[in-house]
Chain A
Amino acid sequence: MDAQRLLARNSFTELNARARARALLDPGSFRELIDPFERLSSPWLPRQGIVTQADDGLVVARGLLDGAPAVVLAIEGAFQGGSMGEVSAAKIAGSLELAAEDNARGIPTRAAIVFETGGVRLQEANLGLAGIAEIQAAMVDLRRYQPVVGIVAGPVGCYGGMSIAAGLCSYLLVTREARLGLNGPAVIEQEAGVGEFDSRDRATIWGLTGGEQRYRSGLADRYVEDDAADLRQALLDCMREGRPGRCRSERTEAFLASLAKIDGTRPATPADVATAYGKELRA
């Protein structure tokens, strides 16, 4: 990106969740549901001496995409690492379920999810995990009618159970700043040793789990510049394309066959992964 473009762009990763939802929807169509003033916050965090956020870090925005009814679910990564608690997960799952109900009644409501999350909120344990399972079930239901588009912009990335949710999307958009993985770098190092994965090595982290690599290896569908207008355009393009023939999670056989080709006796390099997965795994 040259200096002029850098100055002209509107960085998406620097926006908070509410501003992100507003930037993605058609101008002037943003309307928030269960807004912060309804104070639907976590009942569990105060009992553990942790300050809550009034919206539990989750923005539910109704509005339009290309003039068609839409809902954008934006996770606030700065609050508790974007973790999914009982309330925030229920806000996503409930919204997706209502969008599917709309479609069953002939209203073509589509959904986009802005993932910025470390996964389940450990302080809410099983309630968060159950919530993530509900999100995943609702995504699989809704994507039968309309594309469910995921965006991982960064800087938090998308991890844990929510990385599985990202894998269930009809389309997944990533930026260079994005990271996507089931386990975070520190967890991998702790479990497998520093020889397997050095969590202090940023080049390794982004080289293997960054947005560009995930796109190169077919685990994301579009690699987008960190610009709010570019991300909105990519989102609209996906919606116009309509539902893919088969979602990524319906093409597991090809992924498993590629995974079997990787030499497990030594740590894989980014090039190994890109070669093994590669373009043939694209929809």
Chain B
Amino acid sequence: MQTLAFTFPAAAPPRGRALAGVVASGDLEVLLEPASDARITIEVTTSVEGMERTWAALFARLFAEPTRPAVHLQINDFGATPGVVGLRIAQAFDAVAQED
């Protein structure tokens, strides 16, 4: 098990919060909550060690432009592929976008 942290610039926070996924084999859980300081902060706990560069590359691609709302993401990962991680994050952002 390994814990990783990331920060990116962001736009205004959303109103709601959202949950996507389950901590099942090959899947992950994303808890998305609004943040107040125009940043996206990400805290990853993963069962697979040594994949820092993969996580960093995935997040850099998703959050390079500061257009996403400011949120705190807690990710509990149980060996999901980058594709599944991207889908779960998109699912969580979609859920709060529908509430706004």
- Residues on A facing B (Cβ under 8 Å): 16, 36-37, 46, 49-54, 57, 76, 78-80
A46–B1 Cα gap in the complex (Å)? Answer: 8
Bitwise interface map of B from 53 to 93 toward A, beta carbon under 8 Å scored 1, else 0? 00000000000000000000010111000000000000000
The answer to whether the Cβ of B46 comes within 8 Å of any Cβ in the partner chain is: yes
Say if the beta carbon of B7 comes within 8 Å of chain A.
no
Q: Is the CB of A78 within 8 A of B1?
A: no
What is the chain A residue whose CB lies nearest that of B21? A16
Contact A76 B22 (CB under 8 A): yes
Quick check: A16 and B78 within 8 Å, CB to CB?
Answer: no
Contact residues in A for B47 (Cβ distance below 8 Å)? 50-51
Complex CA gap A76/B27 in Å reads 13
Pair B24/A78 contact, Cβ less than 8 Å: yes
Total interface residues on B, using CB and 8 Å?
Answer: 18
Which of A36, A46, A51, A76 is the one whose CB lies under 8 Å from B78? A51
Residue from the list A37, A46, A51, A78 in contact with B77, Cβ < 8 A: A51
| Cβ-defined contact, B23 with A51, below 8 A | yes
Q: Is the CB of B46 within 8 A of A36?
A: no
B1 contact set on A, CB distance < 8 A: 46, 49-51
A-B contacts at CB below 8 angstroms, number: 44
Closest Cβ neighbor of A76 among chain B residues: B22
Q: In the bound complex, what is the Cα–Cα distance between A57 and B24 (angstroms)?
A: 10
User: Are A53 and B23 in contact, with the CB atoms below 8 A?
Assistant: yes
The residue in chain A whose Cβ has the minimal distance to the Cβ of B32 is A37
Q: Which of A37, A49, A53, A78 is the one whose CB lies under 8 Å from B76?
A: A53
Contact B45 A51 (CB under 8 A): yes
Complex CA distance for A52 and B77, rounded to whole angstroms: 9
Closest-CB distance, B17 to chain A (whole angstroms): 6
Residues in chain A near residue B42, CB distance under 8 A: none
- In Å, the complex CA distance between A50 and B45 comes to 9
Residues of chain B whose beta carbon lies under 8 Å from any beta carbon of chain A: 1, 17, 19, 22-25, 27, 29, 31, 33, 45-47, 74, 76-78
A118 to B23, CA, bound (A): 16
Q: Would you list the 8 A-B pairs with minimal beta carbon distance, nearest first?
A: A78-B24, A53-B23, A49-B1, A78-B22, A51-B47, A79-B23, A51-B76, A51-B45
Asked if A54 contacts B74 (CB within 8 A), the reply is: yes
Q: In whole angstroms, how far apart are the Cα atoms of A76 and B21 in the complex?
A: 11
> B37: shortest Cβ distance to chain A, in Å?
19
Contacts of A80 in B (CB 8 A): 23
Q: Which residue of A lies closest to B48 (CB)?
A: A51
Question: Nearest Cβ in chain A — how far from B97, in angstroms?
Answer: 18
Docked pose: A37 CA to B71 CA in angstroms: 14
* New contact pairs (16) apart from A53-B22, A53-B76, CB-CB < 8 Å: A36-B19, A36-B29, A37-B19, A37-B31, A46-B1, A49-B1, A50-B47, A51-B47, A51-B76, A51-B78, A52-B76, A54-B19, A54-B29, A54-B31, A54-B74, A78-B22
Residue of A nearest to B78 (CB): A51
B98 CB to closest chain A CB, in angstroms? 17
Residue from the list B24, B27, B31, B45 in contact with A36, Cβ < 8 A: B31
Q: Residue B46 contacts which of A37, A51, A53, A79 (CB distance < 8 angstroms)?
A: A51
* 6 residue pairs from A and B, CB less than 8 Å apart: A37-B31, A50-B47, A51-B1, A54-B74, A57-B23, A79-B23
